[in-house]
Every structure is written in structure tokens, then in C-alpha cells.
Structure 1
């Protein structure tokens, strides 16, 4: 399986399975079946609310001899309510217990937004809101404090690699001023409508790997009402033409556009055929012209923008 070598020396598969929006009732079977299909990278988060069930799927696959723990690459994320230094180890231990694991291969800070702590015994996952009210209560925790707590959990062996998500270049450069080691991975929204090429180039220069989420653009946000009525990339004329020329599905073309440029992808599908197709999307090459044609669709359109939660948070997206 194609992989990216992280700055920790760990190999991260180029294609993984995203666990966002996977219902709890289906999560164990979804993970188990994905492992049977050949997936080894799974991208989860405390905020997804399904980590215990995903962990059940992993445990069953290991018990049945489908895979060994060391053959898997499990990613999870620190939610915004746990940014204080004393809460970072508290949460990672809880999440590891949910997954039934001793360590994460990669642990990310989910958003560069610190909000008021919520005890997991009171509500978990806590999400953005306080007591069901659509109001975000910010917490005065510097990002430096959170990052240094992340370094501590890495040193303690709870995570083999650590990184960040949903940050831009300025904050990335700021982290490097106080970090003992650069983040291993930056996870960002990345698709042809939002190429973020300057940020991609910066990460390449810094030796920071990139994982793309929402590789199909608006498709990921239709059910949330956040697609902004944007034309589907899976049905776009450019994608369709390249799909026909290569004999690959539109989804495979979009994924290969990312992976051929060294960017990992974590598409979500529960359909067995599409699940296998997504995994097998690195066995062909796009031409320079085809890569450019897809990249030229960029209009700087971001879908995962927390402005719907609070106008203040739109500056962090």
C-alpha cells in the first residue's frame, strides 16, 4: 500500500477511511468490513461520537486474525473543550480506552479554537455548544499550551505522532517557534474547489505531511445543508472527461489528484464497491495536463466554516 513517511519515521497510508458521520449503530461493522477490504488507516475524532464502536470493530478484526495492531494506522483528534494542559492527557486516555488501544499512531488538535471545558461525565462529546444553547463560550488557553501538552503525550507514548488540523500558514509558522518538533501532519479541507496550494507548498517545504478531508467537495456537506448549492465535483465536466479518458470512476480521479501530489485522503463510503474503488485509487497516473485541469477548478470555496456556529469562529476556518 502506498504510504507517506512522516517526520517521526512512521509510515502513513495514502488512502484511509474517514469515520466522520458514521452512525454509532453501524460503526463497528463499518470498520471491520473496511479492514476486510484492505483499509489500514482510520481517521476518527472524539467529536464524531463513535469511537467506542469503531474500537469494537478494530478489536473484532484483530481477534479474528484479519490484522495485527501494528499494521493499522489509527488517527484521532483533541476536541476544543480539552485544550488546557491538564485536559489533554485526560482526553487522550479516555479516547484510547474507547478504542481499546494503548496508543494512537497520530493525534491531532481538531481546531485552533479553545472553548470552555465540559467534563466528559456531564456530556460527551461536548460539541460546540454549551447546554444545548447555540452559543460558543471561548476559553483563554493559548495554542502554545495545548501544543506543548500534545508533545507531552507523545513523549509518554500515548501517540506516536502528533499534528494539527484546520490551521493556516501563519499559525503553523508560529507553532514552529516553540515546538520541540514540527507537527507531523496537517489535516485540512482540500478538494479542487479549495486547493490551498500556498499552504500545501509551505507544508512540503517544512516537511509536514498533509491529509485532505472532504476530497469530493460539496458532496460531503449535502446532508448537513452546508453544500451551498455548489455543483458536484463528481459530475463536473472536467472530472467526467478525465474519468472517461482513464477508465476510472470520478471519485477515483478526484482522490488520485490528491494522492499523486503526495496528499493523503480519507474518503467515506459504506458501499462495498465504492469502498474498494476508493482504496484502489493509486494504481494509475494522471497526466500533467489532467492534474492542472482539475487544479484550475479552484475558487477558494470552503465548506467547513464554523461561521454557522458563531461569526467569531469564521476567522479560524
Structure 2
């Protein structure tokens, strides 16, 4: 009896230790990201002896960039964990329903047909276009999925996402074909993902929208655990599956919309982090979703700090680094014979 109780206590401490480790890692990532880059935080800055211009650059550029990375990492990874639970597939990701493609098409339309991002107005317009495109696709997928029932609704969502991804990719290709060299470069850099365009006004908008999306995802974690038993069993336990789908899709649309609009398409964050943590912590979404949010913030902050540091004073697109991390990891899982949880 004592050994069984000890074993249970060890398994109960495991989630606590994992969350503590993730919180500690996030604090370290925040400190490193805030103090790294061309403008390092020196002893003179800490003592208040640095010139006012140094503090202005740090506050106006570095801090909003770190806040952007924190929120985008949490939104993408939390959405990825929720999508994996909704589709009961550990390889699902937040781009599955076409929100990122819709944002990409809207930004391409803005850059090629309206004016790009040469001015502050153009940059804010790009953010608004990306968010509007992602959210419009999210609403379209939501209404299409509402036409199905049960398992057919999930299948309808997948087909709608596939069709939207295909159409948006074709539209983006046409716009890239007619774009000028400068517009094509803007499209390419935006598609690689970057936190370099972080400014306080749009970041404040993100800080306003992000808690709503994160709350919707966190609120769904208990119901997602019930859904893993199957829709019929979950329905007999009192789960309203259509309402759960609506909440997850809308929260994901909002989270992916603001993230892609501000940072471009950053791959593998929403797939890699929840998948890794699922292998470590198990399939329970009560822990997996908040842990994924913390893990996504840690990974994106670390990747962005490396992107600013590896080729300084030049800067690598952070989406390239996350893809370079995610691709080899999944190949390693396949070689080990563990492609899924």
C-alpha cells in the first residue's frame, strides 16, 4: 500500500515539476531575449548611466518585440494543442483550417495591389489585412463546418481547410507572378516569419486580443479530454460537441489571425511544441494546453534571440529557424519509430 501511494504521489508531482520547469525556462528566455542583440543591456544601462537614446531604443524596439514573441508563441502552441485534441490527431496544427493561408493571401493583396509596407500606414495596413484574412477564413470554415453533424462535421472542416489552403496558395502564386521585385521580396520575407516589425500600437492590439483567444482555448481543455473518448461517449457524459468545435475554431481563428498578421507565417511552433509535450506529459489537455502555451513562448523567444544573434548585425527570419528545428525533430521521431503519441 505504501509503495502504491508513493508511486501515485510521484506521478502527481510530475505535472507540477513540468510546469515549474517551463515557467523557469520562460523567465530565462525573457531575460536572455531582453538583454541580447546589437544593443546589449550593459552595466551602464542597469545603473541608469546609459544615454537616453539607448533606453528609448530598448523600450521602443526590444520590449515590444519580446512581448510579440511571447504572445505569438503562446497563441500558436495553445491553438495547436487544441486542434490536435479537436481532430484527435497528434499531428494537427493551427494552419490546418486555412487561417494562415487566408492571412497570407490578404497580405499579398495589400502589398501588391494597395501599397506594401514602405510607410507606417502601410505597415499597419498589412497587419489589418493579415488579421482580416485569417478571421474571414475562420468564420467561413466555422459556417461550413456547422452544416455537418458529428464526425462528418470534422471531415467537412478538414475538406474546407484543404480547399482554402489550395485556393489561397494559387491566389498568392498569381500575385507573386505579377508583383514587382520589391513587392516580391516583401512577400518572401513576410512568408518566412519575423518579429522585426514589432511596434507598440499593433502589439498593444495583440495584447488586447490574445487573452480572449487564450481564455477560449483554456476553457475547452476539460471538454477536449472528454472528446477523446469519442463523440457518442462524450455526448452521454454531457458534452456539447458542436459548441466545443465552435469555441475552438473561433479561438484558433482569433489567435492565428493576430499572430500571422503581426509576425508572418512561423511554421512548426503550433505542431512541434504540443507534440513534444504530449510525449512527455501525456494526452490530458488539462495540463497539455497551458504547458503548450508556456513551451511555445519559450521556443519562439529562444529562436528569435538566435535569429538576432547568429548573423548580427543581419537578422535571420525566425520562421526559418523554427523549421530547421522542427523538420529534423520529426525525422528523428520517424527513425525511432515514434511518429505519434
TM value normalised by structure 2: 0.25
More helix by share: 2
More strand by share: 1
